[in-house]
């Protein structure tokens, strides 16, 4: 066995506030990629692989071998590059097995029955709570962490936990839980399980929206989160958290990319199948999510 401390590199996507990761075993030069971002311009409908290619270049420059390309959950605020990097790097892909429940919800919303419970069609492996696998000499444990979505999982790799949209940095609080399939009470319980990890465990967030205009950050220890997280410090209990979270969520606009992103991300990052003219198309469910909101802003917490 190698050290329990993997090397972690974060890749920040300025446009969406998302963070993608390469987590590597220094003893074997084996690694996994977590939550890579596919670029998308909403105005033109164009996609790009700029950030994903940066990650692939980083892997090559460091002489790493990619063993997994992983999603923590179906993202609502950026497109996933899991399929692109899995194909480019020849690595298997994975996500939590409850993705089938989220596919079922959105297959109805989009009226796309081909999305229904088709997780194994789009990822190579669907992980269950407690599953374990290896990245080089490091063991990875899968922790089911619902709340933000019904399918979210945390990947615990040595002393590093990739906690997706549960906790943000301590000065930003916690993730929203008002999307279809989300649940503030489940989110609180998932967070408590994460905060029960060893105090020195490094927690890597899925997003950072740079409160107050500070530089982007995405790493804090369990001890730091327990002491300083603005939504949970001072012994905030479950009932108080649920009330505060639900009140805040009612004030937040729908993420600007959500209706586009989920059609791609529930296919493992694959665009819809091209139609007869060779082009892929996205659908928009009109009037499904209430009245029009002001221009979306970069704050989907």
Please state, in angstroms and as integers, the Cα–Cα distance from residue 114 to each residue in 101, 107, 215, 252, following that order. Answer: 14, 7, 42, 31
Q: pLDDT by residue (tens digit) across 246-289?
A: 999 999 998 989 999 999 999 999 999 999 999 999 999 999 88
Tens of pLDDT, residue by residue over 83-96, are 999 999 999 999 99
Residue 47 has pLDDT above 50, yes or no: yes
pLDDT bracket for residue 292 (50, 70, 90)? low
At 263, list the tokens. 């059609």
- 222-243 mean pLDDT: 95
What 3-state DSSP class applies to 142? strand
Residue 164 pLDDT exceeds 70: yes
The whole-chain average pLDDT of the chain stands at 93
- Evaluate if residue 155 carries a pLDDT over 90: yes
Instruction: Determine the Cα–Cα distance for residues 154 and 233; give it in Å rounded to an integer.
Output: 21
Following CA atoms 159, 148, 191, 131 in sequence, which dihedral angle do they give, to the nearest 10 degrees? -50
Tokens of 186: 């489940």
- Check residue 139 and give its pLDDT: 97
On whether the CB atoms of residues 271 and 87 are closer than 8 A, the answer is no
- DSSP SS3 for 27: coil
Neighbours of 160 (CB within 10 A): 22
- To the nearest 10°, the Cα dihedral for 233, 235, 239, 240? -50
What mean pLDDT comes out for the span 52-63?
98
**pLDDT band for position 291 (50/70/90)?**
low
The per-residue pLDDT for 1 is 39
Asked if 268 and 71 count as a contact pair (C-beta separation under 8 A), the reply is yes
* Domains of the chain, start order: 7-265 (3.60.15.10)
Look at the alpha carbons of 261, 266, 269, 270 in this order and tell me if their dihedral is positive or negative: negative
pTM assigned to the model: 0.94
Instruction: Give me the mean pLDDT over the 108-133 stretch.
Output: 89
Summarize the confidence of residues 41-64 as an average pLDDT. 97
121 or 228: whose pLDDT is higher?
228
Region of 238 (left: φ > 0; alpha: ψ -120 to 50; beta: rest) is alpha
pLDDT at 7 over 90: yes
For residue 113, name the pLDDT band (cuts at 50, 70, 90): confident
């Amino acid at each position: 066995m190698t050290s329990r401390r993997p090397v972690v590199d974060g890749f920040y996507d300025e446009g969406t506030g998302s963070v993608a990761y390469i987590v590597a075993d220094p003893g074997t030069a084996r690694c996994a990629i977590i939550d890579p971002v596919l670029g998308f311009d909403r105005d033109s409908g164009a996609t790009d692989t700029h950030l994903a290619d940066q990650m692939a270049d980083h892997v090559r420059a460091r002489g790493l071998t990619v063993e997994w390309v992983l999603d923590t959950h179906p993202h609502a605020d950026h497109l996933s590059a899991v399929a692109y990097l899995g194909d480019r790097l020849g690595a298997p892909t994975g996500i939590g097995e409850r993705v089938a429940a989220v596919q079922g919800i959105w297959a109805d919303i989009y009226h796309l029955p081909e999305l229904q419970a088709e997780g194994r069609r789009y990822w190579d492996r669907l992980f269950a709570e407690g599953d374990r696998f290896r990245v080089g000499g490091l063991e990875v444990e899968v922790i089911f962490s619902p709340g933000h979505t019904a399918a979210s999982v945390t990947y615990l790799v040595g002393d590093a936990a990739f906690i997706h949209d549960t906790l943000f940095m301590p000065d930003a609080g916690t993730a929203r839980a008002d999307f279809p399939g989300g649940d503030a009470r489940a989110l609180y319980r998932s967070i408590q399980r994460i905060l029960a990890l060893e105090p020195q465990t490094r927690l890597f967030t899925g997003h950072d929206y740079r409160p107050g205009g500070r530089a982007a950050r995405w790493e804090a220890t369990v001890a730091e989160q327990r002491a300083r997280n603005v939504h949970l410090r001072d012994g905030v209990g479950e009932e108080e958290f649920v009330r505060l979270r639900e009140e805040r969520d009612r004030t937040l606009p729908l993420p600007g990319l959500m209706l586009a992103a989920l059609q791609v991300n529930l296919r493992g990052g694959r665009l819809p199948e091209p139609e007869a003219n060779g082009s892929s198309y996205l659908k928009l469910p009109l009037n499904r999510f209430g009245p029009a909101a002001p221009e979306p802003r970069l704050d989907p917490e």
